[in-house]
Amino acid sequence: MQTTKENSKSTDSQNTKFNFDYAPALESTDIVQIKDRNLLFIDGKWVAPSQGKYFKTINPATGLPLAEIAEASTKDVDNAVKAARKAYTKTWSKLTGAERGRYLFRIARLIQERARELAVLETMDNGKPIKESRDIDIPLVAAHFFYYAGWADKLDYAIPGQKVSPVGVVGQIIPWNFPLLMAAWKIAPALACGNTVVIKPAETTSLSLLLLVQILQEAGLPDGVVNVITGAGETGTALVAHADINKVAFTGSTDVGRLIAKTVAGTNKKLTLELGGKSAHIIFEDAAIEQAVEGVINGIFFNQGHVCCAGSRLLLEESVSEIFVEKLKIRMQQLRVGNPLDKNTDIGAINSSTELEKIKKLITTGQNEGAEFFEPNIEMPDKGYFQKPCFFNRVSSAFTLSRVEVFGPVLAISTFRTTQEAIAKANDTPYGLAAGIWSEKGSKVHKVASSLKAGVIWANTYNKFDPTSPFGGYNESGWGREGGRHGLFPYLNTKQGAK
Ligand code: NAD
Ligand code: MN
C-alpha cells in the first residue's frame, strides 16, 4: 500500500495519469546453463580455436560478462568449410527431400520443447525483453523450421519449368538484433534445399546459436551439415573470402554488405544481402488513430528499435498531426524501460555500449540540427545499457535523422498534405526495406503501396512476420529475398526443363 501511495505521488508530480506500477515479474534464469568457455562447432564436434583466442560476451542489461566465446581463425574457418564440403558430398546431398524434411521437422519440434530456455538465453545475451523473445523470436524460429521442412520434398514444384539442385556449401553471417531468428532464416531454407552450412553469429550474441547446435545434435543431424564459427569481422571476412563457398548470405549493416559484395564480385558465388533501412510509416487522416499510435510505437520501439525494418520515419497527414503527436506522447509516457527478464518490460537493453554510443551521438546531432525533441518522463534503470525512447518532430528531409539509420528507439516525424507528397517523402531515402500505411480506405492503401519502393509493406499494422512471406529490400536495403517460396531461390541452382 505504502508503495502504491508513493508511486501515485510521483506520477502526479510528473503529470502522467496512466503510469501504473506493476510488481516485478522476473523470468527465472535457472533453466539456462551457460558454459564459461564456448568452443567452435565443426564437423559435429566442439573444437578449441586454433589460435587459442577467446572474447567475452556480456549481458547488456547488467554490463557483466556471461561467458567466453572462441574466436575462429582463418584456419578454423577453412576446417569448417572442409567439414561442410565433406558432409555435402558424402551425406546431405545423397538424402531425399523427404529425409531432409524429417530432420527439419525434428529440429522444429525440439525448438518448441526448449523454447523457454532459448528465450531466456536470448534475452540474457541480447538484452531484448523476455516477452519478445518468448512470444515473437522463438515461436518464429520454430515456425521457420516447420515451414521449410514442408518445402524439402516439394522443391521440384518450387519454380515452374525449372529443374533445381542445391548450390553446395553456404557461408552465412548474421547480426545481433534477432540472433536466433536470423540463424533460422538462414539455416532452415539452406538445409531444406540440400546445402550444408558454415554460419557465423554476431560477436555480441553467439550463445543462442550455440544452444541451437545442441538441438541439431539431439535431432541427429549428420556431422558437418551445420558448422558454427564464432568471432567478429575478421572471421566473417575469412568466411566470405573462402574459395570453396558457393553462396554467401549476409544480414547486417550496409557498409559491411558493400565490402562483402566487393569480395564476392567476379567469383561464382551467389550472394544475398539483407541490410539496413529507414522505413516510413504513413498516417492518413482517415486512419484509426488509436491503432495507428500503437502501430507506430510497435514499429520503432519494439526490440529497442534494433529492427532493420523499424518504422523510424513517421509521416503524418497535416490535419491529424497535432492530435497524433499528443497521443503518441501520452502512450510513450506508459512505456516501461527496464530489466529485459521482467515480463512487464516493453523496452529492454541496447545490445552493447558501442551501439548505445552511436544512438546517443545521433540524438545529439538531431538536437543540434534543431528538430523538436521529446522524451517521456519515465524511470530508467541505473545500470546496464539503456536508451529512453524518444522522437524528433518537424524534421525536414535534409536532417540527419530523416536519412541515417539510428538503429535505436528514436523516431523522426514530419508531415504531408497530399498523397503524392507522402509517397515522394517515403521514397526519399537510399534504403527501401519496409513501409507502413494507415488508412481505413482500401483503395488508397493499394494505390500508395504500389507506389512505394519498399520490399515489405504493411497496411494498418507493422512488424508482423511470417515464414511464408518473403522479406527483403530495394536499393541499399539489400539484394534478394528471405522467407516464403522466394527464400528458396538463393539456395537453389536452376536449369531449364521440369522433371
Ligand atoms: P554489422 O554489419 O556490423 O555486423 C553483422 C555481422 O557481420 C556480424 O556477424 C559481424 O561480425 C559481421 N561482420 C562485421 N564485419 C565484417 C566483414 N568485414 N566481413 C564479414 N562479416 C563481417 O551489423 P550489426 O551492427 O551487427 O547489425 C546492425 C545492422 O544490420 C543494421 O544496419 C541493420 O539494419 C542490419 N540488419 C538488417 C536486417 C535485414 O534483414 N535487412 C536484419 C537485421 C539487421
Ligand atoms: Mn551479449
The CATH number for 42's domain is 3.40.605.10
Residue 347 lies in a domain: yes
Domain span at residue 399 reads 280-464
Domain match, 305 and 445 both: yes
Residue 18 lies in a domain: no
Alpha-carbon distance of 315 to 395, in angstroms, equals 10
Residue 356 lies in a domain: yes
Residue nearest to atom 13 of ligand 1 (CA): 233
Establish whether residue 173 lines the binding site of ligand 1, counting it when its CB lies within 6 angstroms of any ligand atom: yes
Residue nearest to atom 9 of ligand 1 (CA): 202
Grid cell in block for residue 119: 528465450
Domain match, 400 and 345 both: yes
Domain match, 77 and 202 both: yes
Q: How far is CA 252 from the centre of its chain?
A: 9
**Domains held by the chain: number:** 2
Establish whether residue 408 lines the binding site of ligand 1, counting it when its CB lies within 6 angstroms of any ligand atom: no
Catalytic residue among 27, 132, 274, 482, which?
274
pTM of the model: 0.94
Label the pairing between strands 226-228 and 196-200. parallel
Domain match, 242 and 122 both: yes
Q: How far is CA 128 from CA 60, 134, 427, in A?
A: 9, 10, 30
- Residue 381 pLDDT: 96
- The alpha carbons of the chain give a radius of gyration, in whole angstroms, of 23
- Residue 2 pLDDT: 37
Domain match, 116 and 256 both: yes
Evaluate whether 212 touches 180 at the Cβ level (below 8 Å). Answer: yes
> DSSP for 127-164?
---HHHIIIIIHHHHHHHHHHHHHHTT-GGGTSTTEEE
Q: How far is CA 31 from the centre of its chain?
A: 24
- Residue 21 pLDDT: 72
Domain match, 348 and 242 both: no
Residue to probe by mutation, ligand 1, list 57, 253, 482, most atoms within 8 Å of CB: 253
Domain match, 446 and 481 both: no
Q: How far is CA 262 from CA 238, 240, 241, 271, 472, in A?
A: 14, 10, 10, 11, 20
Q: How far is CA 389 from CA 17, 242, 375, in A?
A: 19, 41, 6
Domain match, 319 and 355 both: yes
- Residue 5 pLDDT: 38
Helix/strand/coil for 16: coil
Residue 7 lies in a domain: no
Domain match, 256 and 297 both: no
Evaluate whether 280 touches 425 at the Cβ level (below 8 Å). Answer: yes
Residue 109 lies in a domain: yes
Residue 190 lies in a domain: yes
The tens place of each residue's pLDDT in the chain, 499 residues long, gives 333 433 443 444 344 445 567 788 999 999 999 999 999 999 999 999 999 999 999 999 999 999 999 999 999 999 999 999 999 999 999 999 999 999 999 999 999 999 999 999 999 999 999 999 999 999 999 999 999 999 999 999 999 999 999 999 999 999 999 999 999 999 999 999 999 999 999 999 999 999 999 999 999 999 999 999 999 999 999 999 999 999 999 999 999 999 999 999 999 999 999 999 999 999 999 999 999 999 999 999 999 999 999 999 999 999 999 999 999 999 999 999 999 999 999 999 999 999 999 999 999 999 999 999 999 999 999 999 999 999 999 999 899 999 999 999 999 999 999 999 999 999 999 999 999 999 999 999 999 999 999 999 999 999 999 999 999 998 989 889 999 999 999 999 999 875 5
C-alpha atoms less than 13 angstroms from C-alpha of 33 in its C-beta half-sphere: 3
Domain match, 75 and 196 both: yes
- Residue 258 pLDDT: 95
Evaluate whether 200 touches 16 at the Cβ level (below 8 Å). Answer: no
Q: How far is CA 254 from CA 163, 200, 258, 303, in A?
A: 33, 18, 6, 20
Buried b or exposed e, range 143-159, using 16+ CB within 10 angstroms = bbbbbbbebbbebeebe
Grid cell in block for residue 217: 545434435
Q: Could you report how far apart the first and last alpha carbons of the chain are, in Å?
A: 73
Residue 430 lies in a domain: yes
Domain match, 243 and 345 both: no
Report the CATH number that the domain containing residue 450 is assigned in CATH: 3.40.309.10
Domain match, 212 and 159 both: yes
Residue 164 lies in a domain: yes
> 274 catalytic, yes or no?
yes
